[in-house]
Every structure is written in C-alpha cells, then in structure tokens.
Amino acid sequence: MTMENLKYRFDGGKPTQGATTIVGVLGSGNLEVMVEPATLGGACEIEVSTAANGFGEIWQAVMKDFFARHHAGDIRISVNDAGATPAIVSLRLDQAIETYKGPQKK
Amino acid sequence: MEWQKVASQLFPSGHQIRQDSDLLLGEGRCGKHTVAVIGTTNHTEVGVELALAMATAVLDVIRNHPARPIVFLVDTSGQRLRHRDEMLGLNGYMAHLAKCVEMARRRGHAIISLVYEQALSGGFLANGMMADVCAALPEAEIRVMGLPAMARVTRISEERLTELSKSSPVFAPGAKNYLKMGGLDALWEGDLSACLTDALEQVDASDHRRKRGLERGGRLLAEPVVNRVLTDS
Amino acid sequence: MSGSYYESSARARITGMLDAGSFHEWLTAAERVTSPHLAILEQPAAFDDGVIIGQGSISGKQIFIAAQEGGFMGGAVGEVHGAKIVGVLERAVRDHPAAVLLLLETGGVRLQEANAGLIAVSEVMRSILSARAAGVPVIVAIGGQYGCFGGMGIASRCATAIIMSEEGRLGLSGPEVIETVRGVEEYDSRDRALVWRTVGGKHRYLLGECDIIVPDSMDDFQHAITACINKGDDWSLAALEREHQLLSKRVKHFGECKDGRDIWRELGWSDPDAIAMMGNDEFIAAAQGRRAKQTAGGS
C-alpha cells in the first residue's frame, strides 16, 4: 500500500472569489480540505492525496456531485485524506467552499 | 565500555569519580582543565531521585566552581517507567535538571556530554542533549524508545519497525545517524582525552544542531524551516 | 461567548482566544511545508504538519503563538513541526513580544520520525529557555484530549508557567507505554480515574506541577494567559534554587505514596475522593492551604 494521488478537473464553473481556506483535521477516518483561488478560466481543479487505495471511482463520483452542487470555478481544492467515508468527504467539501466564499450578502 | 575505562581514557592525569548506586559524581583532570563529572551507569532508568541528584550536582558546580566545565557521562535506558515517578511529576524533575544545565551554560560553564553506552529519550533529553558538545563512542546506542512499546503506540508491527531501523537513518538507533542528523557533534574514539580537550576549546554555546544536520545531509528541513519563520512577514 | 477548549481544533483555539482579527499566520497551510518522512509509512501528511504558528494579540498584548493540532498524529513532534515551534521561539528572542504562547497537545516525539523527532524536541527545549533568558515569558496551555506527554512534557516544564484545565493531562511516559513494558499491575492504562489521579489537571495543580487551573472554556484560558503575561517571569539561579528545594521536599513527603489520593491526604484533604466531583471554583477555594507550593515559573 502506498499513498495515492488523484486529480480531477471540471470545466465551466462560475468564477468564485474567496480567501484561501483550510478546514478539517487529518485524523484517522477524517480529512483536511484546502481551497485556494486559481486562474483557471472558470475551471475547478481538485487534488487528492489519500492512504486508502483503490477508491478512484468513488472519489470521481463524490467530486462530480460536489461540482454539480456548487459549480465553483477558478479554485484549486487540495485534499489530504486518512480514510474518510464519502459522506464525510462531501460534508467537508461543502464546508470548505462555504467558508471560502465567506458571509454571503442576502 | 565500562565507565572506569572511559574515565581513565578521558582523564589520564587522574580523576576522583565515585559510583554511588548508578550515579557517577566527581571531577577529572584533562590537560590544563579540571572538569566536573556527572553521569550514570548500568543502563540505568532515570527516575525522580536520580534526576534530582544530577540537578543537585549541577547546582553545586554553579555555586562552588565558577566557570568549571561539566562533563556528562551518559549511559541510560531512558526515563523510569513507573506509575510512581509519573505521579510525582518526573517530567518536572527532568525539566529542572535541564534548566540547571542551561543556567550553568549561561553562567559560563562549558557543557560536554559523552554517550559511552546507551542513551534513550527522556533520560537523554534532560542532560546529554543539553550539552554544548554532545559526543558518543562509535558503538553507542541512541534511540527514542524500545521496539515493543513503539509498535504499540504507532500500530506499526515490530517487524516493520525492525526493517526500518536497518534501512532508514531516521529510525536507525546508531550514533552515526545522530551524528549525521546533527544531534551529535562528534564520535570520539582513540585518544579520548584529546577529543575532550579539543571540545573544551571549541565550545559554541548556541544550538548549532540544525545547521549541522543540514551540512551533513541528515536533516534537511529543520534549518530552512526555522529560517523561514525568522524571515516571514 | 466561549467554547470548549477541549473540543476545539488548534485553529479554533487561536481564533477563540486571540483578539479578533489579530492573528497573522506564518508558514500557512497553503505553503505546504509538510513532513518528508511520512510517505514511507503510507501516512498522509498535513499541510501545516500539525502545528499552526504566527503572531497576534491577547488582551491587547503582542504575542507569538504555536498551537498543536492533537487530531493529527496525536500532536506528535516531527522535524518540520518542531522546527516551526523553534522558529517562533527564536523569533521571539529577536523581536521581543510580550510573551510566547504554546498551546500544547502532544504525545511527544513523533515516533514515525524517531531520531528527527527526538532532536526536534531537544531543540524546542533549548529555544524555550533561550526565549526566557532573553526576557520573553513562555506560557503553556494544556487542555486537549491528547494531553501533553513525552519529551514535550519535559519541555512544558521548561516554560514560565503552565495553565491546565481539569481535563488536561501532563506527564512524561504515557500509561500505555508503562503498561506495555511493566504490565497492567504497574499501571492500568484503561483505568481513567487512575490516570487522572496520576497526571490530570487537578492532581498537577495540587502537586505544584502547574500554576493555574481553569474550567474548560476558551475565555477562562484567555484570562489565565493574560494574568500570566502580566505576572512576568523569573529566570534566575535563585528561582532554580527555590524549585530545587520544593522538588526535594516533594520526594521526601510523597515518595512513599502509592496513589494520588495518598498525596492529597498528606496535603490535608480529609476526603480526597470528593476532589474529582468538585467544580473548578469550589476546587480552587478548597485547595487554599492544601496545595504544595508550585515550582513552575516566577512565584
């Protein structure tokens, strides 16, 4: 078993502004997520570093759902994962993007 | 090597070092220097009494022998692993010893340490690793923790840890690796009294271990990271 | 408004205790200064290697801070993690903030980095003492679920003052290590009450191993920190001589005690079993005159 590094890119997102944000703690069964601004022509790039091997398809599905929920573009998301479930991953991604965007004007 | 042999090689002009249970105390003459000697033997575990006894010895040197160098002779299997010592605050006794050594340094006493057999973890942090010049005999064993306990805490198997201990400088328990990582200044062999005399003449009271680790290629990030903190906005 | 210190992440503790908006982080997570030693063990590396450092203010006073994240590898100290803390302390020697604050939550040396971790802890010890010798108080707070153990238990007692909550634990060897080596009869690591009587906040307060005990809230920790900053430091031979006397007395008076309760009885508590259930204020009041003089810091 080795660390697995996975990369995803989703085009056609809305340019989303925010301040570099990190959420989550890299404990067993958990993950940390960092969101940074990036000049990507509206794309969203995601990098995952995980100790749990062979879950590429599940990560793909989770990331696809995430992008479908938020359509956030011009951001780079970096994930360090220590075996979190897909549900926790989705929760943390949502938390990260909301924190990144900051308080929304109503 | 037995402490008596180490002492006769370090101090060919003579020494008065007494052994009291596992504690070594006394003085030795090396060239023109008279040095205070504080040490342990028999791979002893350092508990509250021994830590306090060593602190007593350091304070004694500070009070009665201004500027006299202090030489630690290190042979320990680490801190005493007993409920009683934990309850009494062994961490505090160890810290007190370390603070006394630091105070001695600040008041102009050169601090030299020589691991002549074993050095582990807490038993080493409070004395030997506080030295200006930290040396070891080439065959000395220096490690953080015994393998069974390490396996339990890290949940890495003993087999894997043993394998890593052979192949990785970060894990291997030998003096050579500590030298490469900057944790030791030098390995001493041959004429030990010459090694000691040289050390006494080159004492640098600042903590240069990070720089040594970088120069020697054994610890590449500690020095650059500290420098980045110093220069960050 | 104040949250639980115990439940909070390191970042939340910083936000919760420093003056609003005052925190400026050094070597941010985005800079990815991570450990090079973990990949070989298939262990994921955290962006900030489990310690957050920077400067800010508390009650208007400029401080430098290092906060360990216990959730990452038990807060254990590796090469990079340790160097970040050393950097803060060495910067304090140069820049003279009002204090350095160390929020410690750690098992000590990161065993996965073995030798590098041990040397790092030693460097932290020396840099704590350098800061104090330069006139900068170093204040330690301990109140997280992982406690403060290993070489960092020694390092913490090199600091000016220690603030603990009842939930906090401070020691050298963890109960599991002692049990592994000496057996469960020597120390039953699963007996939580025993562990707290041995290394917990109330016991350490009564023994004189910590200066202040606070309830588990960030406001209370913050007030205690401010008080420590105002008190200053006493790094001197005279202070060490005083500590020496206190530590000598401690072994004399309590060296035969088998359990924390025996020590508390010696200190004058007729009902030591009641201590565990006391609230913080009640406990502090009852401890007046029934507590060993503290050895840490400038008293």
Whether the predicted pLDDT of C15 surpasses 50: yes
Please tell me which of the candidates C27, C107, C180 has its beta carbon nearest to residue B148: C180
* Chain length of chain C: 299
Residue C1 burial by Cβ neighbours in a 10 Å radius (0-12, 13-18, 19+): exposed
Closest chain B residue by Cα to residue C189: B83
CA angle A22, A24, A30 (to 5 degrees): 140
- The predicted structure's pLDDT at residue B42: 98
Residues B223 and B210: beta-carbon distance below 8 Å: yes
Cα–Cα dist C233/C299, whole Å:
8
Cβ contacts from B onto C, under 8 A: 248
Neighbours of C214 (CB within 10 A): 24
Whether the predicted pLDDT of A48 surpasses 50: yes
Please tell me what DSSP assigns to residue B129: G
**C155 with B95: Cβ contact below 8 A:** yes
pLDDT band at residue A103 using 50, 70 and 90 as cut-offs: confident
Q: For residues B97-112, give the mean pLDDT.
A: 98
Whether the predicted pLDDT of A106 surpasses 70: no
B147 in reach of chain C (CB within 8 A): no
Pairing status of strand B141-143 against strand B118-120: parallel
**A80 with C39: Cβ contact below 8 A:** no
pLDDT in tens, C37-91: 998 888 999 999 999 999 999 999 999 999 999 999 999 999 999 999 999 999 9
**B144 with C117: Cβ contact below 8 A:** yes
Using alpha carbons, list the distances in angstroms from residue C103 to B1, B233, C140, C145, C170. Answer: 42, 22, 6, 12, 13
Residue C62 burial by Cβ neighbours in a 10 Å radius (0-12, 13-18, 19+): middle
Interface ipTM? 0.97
The encoded tokens of residue B143 equal 């490690």
B112 in reach of chain C (CB within 8 A): no
Residues B96 and C243: beta-carbon distance below 8 Å: yes
Residues of A in contact with C71 (CB under 8 A): 25-27, 30
Q: For residues C215-219, give the mean pLDDT.
A: 97
Q: For residues B117-137, give the mean pLDDT.
A: 96
- The predicted structure's pLDDT at residue C76: 98
Q: Which residues pair with B113 in a beta bridge?
A: B72, B134
pLDDT in tens, B55-96: 999 999 999 999 999 999 999 999 999 999 999 999 999 999
Q: Which residues pair with A15 in a beta bridge?
A: A73
Cα–Cα dist C232/C224, whole Å:
13
- The predicted structure's pLDDT at residue C237: 98
Closest chain C residue by Cα to residue B210: C123
Cα–Cα dist A63/A39, whole Å:
20
Whether the predicted pLDDT of A1 surpasses 80: no
The per-residue b/e assignment along A8-28, b for 16 or more CB within 10 angstroms, e otherwise, is bebeebeebebeebbbbbbbe
Residue labelled with tokens 């003089």? C293
Residue C226 contacts by C-beta under 8 Å, 6 or more apart in sequence?
A: C58, C59, C61
